[in-house]
C-alpha cells in the first residue's frame, strides 16, 4: 500500500484519507466505460457524484445510438446513478460545445484540414469547464472512463498509455496539461481488455453492460462529415476542378469538403492507367489535387500548439529523439523533434508516412516506456 510523506496510507485514488471522505466527480457519458468507473468507485466507498454533459440538440440526438452524450445516453447515465445510489447532474453545455468544438470543426474542414474534434472536446470542454465544475462541487478529483494511465513520477503525475494497446486513447488526450493531470484519475487504464470492463459492468448489474461502443464523432451521424458541414455552413460546398499534380484537369467535384488527404475511392475520375490519390486540397482555387501514391509520403511535419509533458523544458534541447503518432490508428514511429519555440516544432519522421493531413494531431511518445510526452497539431507551415 502506498503512503504519503507522513507515512499515512493512501487510498486507491491517491489521497491520505478514507474513501468515504474523498469526493470524486465522475464524467458519465452513459456508456459502459464511465458507468463502470462510477460503480467501481461507489462500491469502494467513495463519495461519488455523477455529471453528464448535454452537448447538442436532443431532438435530433434522442434516436441516435452509437454516439456519446446523446439523449438516450443521458437516460442511461441517470439510471446507473439511481441503481448505485449516488447523485447525478446533467449540465447544459450546448453553447460551450458549439463555440469550442463544432464551429472550429466546420471552419477547419472548410480550410482543407481534417480536424479531430474529440481532442478539442477533451481539451476545451471536459478537462476545462467540466473540471472547474468538479472543483466547484468540492471534489478531490475527477474520474473518467478513458483508457489511459496516470502514474506518479519523480517530477509529478505522468501520462502513460493504457495497458491494452487496442483500447489506448492517448492520441486523444495529448493536450492534457500537468495541472489537469494532477486532478484527473483514469481507473480503467490498467485493465487488460474491454472484456474486463464489461465483466465488471455485469458484476455490478449495470443495464449498460452490453451497450455497444460509440463509433462516430458524437455530432456527426453515420460519419458523414460533409452533410454536417453543409448544415453548419450553408453554401460551403462550392464546386470546382479535380486536377492532377502535373496540371491536367481530370474532372469536377461538388466541394472540397467531400474529400480528405489520401482518399482514393469515390473520386469520379475512373478510366485512368494509374491509381490516383488526393494529395492536396487547394481551398482558394477550389481544387482537389490528385497524384500517385508516392506523393503522399511525408517526412517533415510542422507542428504547433504543443503541449509538452516532459520533465525538462521543451526548448532545453536542440532536438528530441522520440516516437510520434500522426494518426490515431497508426503505431508510434521513430522521429526527431526540433523545437522552434515552446509551442512550435519541426518533426522529422525517420520513415516517411503517407496521408498526413493538416488538422490531425502529432503525439509524442517515449520510445523506451509507455509514457506520453504530449504533442501538437499538424499544420501547413
CATH number 1.10.10.10 given to 239-291:
no
**Whole-model pTM over 0.85:** yes
CATH of the domain spanning 19-222, picked from 3.40.50.970, 3.90.105.20, 3.40.50.1370, 3.40.50.620: 3.40.50.620
Helices (H), the chain: 32-43, 58-61, 71-84, 94-97, 103-110, 117-121, 131-136, 178-183, 194-203, 225-232
DSSP assignment string, 97-146: HIIIIIHHHHHHHHTT----HHHHHIIIIIIIIIHHHHHHTT-SEEE---
Alpha-carbon gap, residue 342 to 307, rounded angstroms: 9
Residue 297 CB neighbours (<10 A): 14
Where does 297-378 sit in CATH, by number?
Answer: 2.40.30.10
Q: For each of the chain's 381 residues, which pLDDT tens digit applies?
A: 565 556 678 999 999 999 999 999 999 999 999 999 999 999 999 999 999 998 876 444 434 444 444 578 899 999 999 999 999 999 999 899 999 999 999 999 888 888 899 999 999 999 999 999 999 999 999 999 999 999 999 999 999 999 999 999 999 999 999 999 999 999 999 999 989 999 999 999 998 988 888 766 788 867 788 888 888 888 778 899 999 999 999 999 989 989 989 999 889 887 777 899 999 999 999 999 999 999 999 999 999 999 999 999 999 999 999 999 999 988 999 999 999 999 999 999 999 999 899 999 999 999 999 999 999 999 975
* Boundaries of every domain in the chain: 19-222, 239-291, 297-378
Q: Which residue numbers are catalytic?
A: 121, 218
Amino acid at each position: 500500500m502506498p503512503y504519503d510523506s507522513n507515512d499515512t496510507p493512501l487510498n486507491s485514488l491517491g489521497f491520505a484519507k478514507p474513501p468515504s471522505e474523498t469526493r470524486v466527480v465522475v464524467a458519465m457519458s452513459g456508456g459502459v466505460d464511465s458507468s463502470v468507473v462510477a460503480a467501481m468507485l461507489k462500491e469502494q466507498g467513495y463519495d461519488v457524484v455523477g455529471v453528464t454533459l448535454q452537448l447538442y440538440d436532443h431532438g435530433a440526438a434522442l434516436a441516435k445510438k452509437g454516439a456519446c452524450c446523446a439523449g438516450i445516453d443521458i437516460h442511461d447515465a441517470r439510471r446507473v446513478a439511481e441503481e448505485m445510489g449516488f447523485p447525478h447532474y446533467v449540465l447544459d453545455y450546448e453553447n460551450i460545445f458549439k463555440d469550442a468544438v463544432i464551429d472550429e470543426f466546420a471552419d477547419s474542414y472548410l480550410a482543407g484540414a481534417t480536424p479531430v474534434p474529440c481532442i478539442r472536446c477533451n481539451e476545451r470542454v471536459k478537462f476545462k469547464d467540466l473540471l472547474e465544475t468538479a472543483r466547484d462541487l468540492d471534489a478531490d478529483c475527477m474520474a473518467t472512463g478513458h483508457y489511459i494511465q496516470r502514474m506518479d513520477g519523480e517530477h509529478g503525475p505522468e501520462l502513460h498509455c493504457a495497458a491494452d494497446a487496442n483500447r489506448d486513447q492517448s492520441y486523444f488526450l495529448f493536450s492534457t496539461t500537468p495541472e489537469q493531470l494532477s486532478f484527473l484519475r483514469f481507473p480503467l487504464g490498467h485493465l487488460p481488455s474491454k472484456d474486463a470492463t464489461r465483466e465488471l459492468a455485469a458484476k455490478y448489474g449495470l443495464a449498460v453492460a452490453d451497450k455497444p461502443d460509440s463509433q462516430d464523432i458524437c455530432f456527426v451521424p453515420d460519419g458523414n462529415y460533409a452533410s454536417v458541414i453543409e448544415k453548419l455552413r450553408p453554401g460551403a460546398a462550392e464546386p470546382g476542378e479535380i486536377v492532377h499534380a502535373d496540371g491536367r484537369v481530370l474532372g469536377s467535384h461538388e466541394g472540397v469538403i467531400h474529400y480528405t488527404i489520401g482518399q482514393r475511392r469515390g473520386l469520379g475520375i475512373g478510366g485512368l492507367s494509374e491509381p490516383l490519390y488526393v494529395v492536396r486540397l487547394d481551398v482558394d482555387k477550389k481544387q482537389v489535387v490528385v497524384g500517385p501514391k508516392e506523393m503522399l509520403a511525408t517526412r517533415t511535419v510542422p507542428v504547433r500548439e504543443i503541449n509538452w509533458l516532459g520533465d525538462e523544458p521543451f526548448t532545453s534541447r536542440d532536438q528530441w529523439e522520440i516516437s510520434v503518432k500522426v494518426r490515431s490508428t497508426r503505431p508510434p514511429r521513430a522521429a526527431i523533434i526540433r523545437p522552434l519555440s515552446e509551442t512550435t516544432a519541426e518533426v522529422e519522421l525517420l520513415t516517411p508516412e503517407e496521408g498526413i493531413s493538416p488538422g490531425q494531431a502529432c503525439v509524442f511518445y517515449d520510445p523506451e516506456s509507455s509514457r506520453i510526452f504530449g504533442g501538437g497539431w499538424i499544420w501547413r507551415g
